[in-house]
Amino acid sequence: MATLQPDRRLIMFVDMESYSRHDDAGQVNAQMNFRRLMRRAAEQCGLDRDGWEIQPSGDGELALFPLGTPEPRLVADLAPAMDRILRDHNRDAGAHAQVRMRVAFHQGLVTRTENGYAGSAVVTAARLVEAPALKEALASFPAAAVGMIVSSTIYQEIVSQSYSGIRKERYGRVSVRVKSFGDEAWIFIPDENVNAGPIASVDASTPAPRPDLGGTERVEAEPTGGSRFTFGSVVTHGPSVFGDNGRAWGTEDARAHRQGRQ
């Protein structure tokens, strides 16, 4: 049997938030709406969705883009297009029909098999879309409909170069730990600034700037518990608020709210 050869591809994972809360009829409707959403978003970006290699997952999809796809334009435009469409949908939809998406981009070697797609790059994209920090960031902006996370590779090669009008200052750096996967990634919420949210509180174990350094350096103590979030130059431990009208994440009622959304 011939050895399967991998191709280097741009990879996207899309996952629908709170899909399991729907009953059977609701899940059927959500899947149909998802397909229409993705086609409309692709058309708005001038992309040919028929050329994508897609592996559906019920509440989302894995998509591999054809060689020659304009990667900067796709990273810059697709998530914002999805967000615009979904914000319009959610504005008139009842609470049970609200749709929100998490999107992850990565690139690397992928092998097509008889049962789907294989490779560490696919695993990385799958872990990124499940990143707790992405879920927290999306929950912190109630009006947003899409949260996007990009791997460090995508950030360095595309975002940091400000291709296609990308505003790199609107991306927040996070540390992702999902199962055995661990890496740095960057989060973006369309029409929001994850780096500009007010901070409600920080862990008291974090010392103030040392006077002899003129307040220019801060030494961070190890947290004794709770969650740790890094958005740009801001590091918080424990309950925090990100974005306008945000919720204080890390509190018991916030955890209960998150569990209802996931």
Parallel, antiparallel or unpaired: strands 181-188 and 146-151: antiparallel
Give the DSSP letter string of 134-158. Answer: HHHHHHT-TT--EEEEEEHHHHHHT
pLDDT reported for residue 233: 43
* CA–CA dist 62, 262 (Å, integer): 19
Helix axis angle, 132-139 to 252-261, nearest 10°: 100
pLDDT truncated to tens, each residue of the chain (262 aa)?
456 888 999 999 999 887 767 778 777 877 888 888 999 999 999 999 999 999 988 789 999 999 999 999 999 999 999 999 999 888 887 767 778 999 999 999 999 988 889 999 999 999 999 999 999 999 999 889 999 999 999 999 999 999 999 999 999 999 999 988 888 999 999 999 998 753 332 222 233 333 333 343 433 444 444 445 454 444 444 444 444 444 444 444 444 444 554 4
SS3 63: strand
> What stretches of 72-204 adopt beta strand conformation (E)?
101-113, 116-118, 146-151, 172-178, 181-188
Are the CB atoms for 199 and 240 separated by under 8 Å? yes
pLDDT reported for residue 259: 52
pLDDT reported for residue 105: 98
Please give the backbone phi and psi of residue 36, each rounded to the nearest 5 degrees, phi first. -65, -40
Q: In angstroms, what CA-CA distances link 170 with 71, 117, 175, 194, 214?
A: 19, 32, 17, 6, 28
Is residue 214 packed enough to be buried (19+ CB in 10 Å), middle (13-18) or exposed (0-12)? Answer: exposed
Q: Per the structure block, which two tokens stand in for 123?
A: 């695993």
* Predicted TM-score (pTM) of this structure: 0.73
